[in-house]
Amino acid sequence: MSGDYGTPHPDAFVFGPPATVEKVVPTIEQARRERDDALDRVDRGADEEWKDYAWSWAYAYLRSHREWFPDDSWAEGLVEPREARAFGPVVLRLLRAGFMARTGEMRQRTRGHAALGPVWRSTIYTGERFDPPPAPAR
């Protein structure tokens, strides 16, 4: 008989009680605290000489460019740290110092699993020639 699949087994549709899953949704304050804690851990573990160099490099870049996408920094000549995540706290300090602001534009990151990242507008742009600091000795 076409379409006749027979009689289902009597236990075929027996389910246990519904599983109770408590969904924990963090608040935005918790998420920010966790972000800041992670950035602090990375910052504490980063080389101080490299952080000073990266700050100076980014500051010089922002003075000579209207916009900045941090992932482009490596191609622009910024020497990479031993731990690539060390750049995150440097970028955050530049933002908190008021040296840049969001443009509203997002681009796919070349690092960070191609997630979207913000393009920043320099608030300290002067148009001066980009003169990056010397890289720290390794």
In the chain, how many domains are there? 1
pLDDT range class, residue 23, cuts 50, 70, 90: confident
Domain span at residue 117? 28-122
Burial class (CB in 10 A: 0-12, 13-18, 19+), 87: buried
**18-22, 61-65, 85-89: lowest mean pLDDT where?**
18-22
- Per the structure block, which two tokens stand in for 8? 């289902």
| Residue 37 counted as domain residue | yes
Residue 48, pLDDT > 80, answer yes
Q: Is residue 19 domain-resident? A: no
Predicted structure pTM score: 0.75
Domain assignment of residue 76, yes or no: yes
91 within a domain of the structure (yes/no): yes
CB 122 within 8 A of CB 100: yes
Query: Residue 60 pLDDT more than 90?
Result: yes
Which residue type, as a one-letter code, is found at position 107? Answer: R
